[in-house]
Amino acid sequence: MEESFHFKLRGLIYEVIPEEDDTYTIFRMGDEYLQILKNKNNKWMRIDYKTDLPIVEENDEVEDIGNIIDRYLTKKQ
């Protein structure tokens, strides 16, 4: 499993913790913030905490976080 990493986005500090199946838990400023996953179409989606299902929506922050994760993983290879 991948290691966690930190990054800064829009003046806030985030931590990314890799989980299973292309799922990531995101902490923002030290607090658990959201879970995201990358679907088969390479689209980043937020996961609903109550249902554990992906939410289909346009979310610039989720896309930005996902792009940072992609760049981080590419750089590690």
Q: Region of 15 please: left (phi>0), alpha (psi -120 to 50) or beta.
A: beta
The whole-number average pLDDT for the span 59-70 is 95
Predicted confidence (pLDDT) per residue in 31-53, tens digit: 999 999 998 888 999 999 999 99
- In sequence order, which residues have a C-beta less than 8 Å from that of residue 51 and are 6 or more positions away? none
Please say if the pLDDT value at position 1 is more than 70. Answer: no
pLDDT at site 47: 97
How do the domains of the chain map onto residue ranges?
5-76
> In degrees, to the nearest 5, what angle opens at C-alpha 8 toward C-alphas 6 and 10?
150
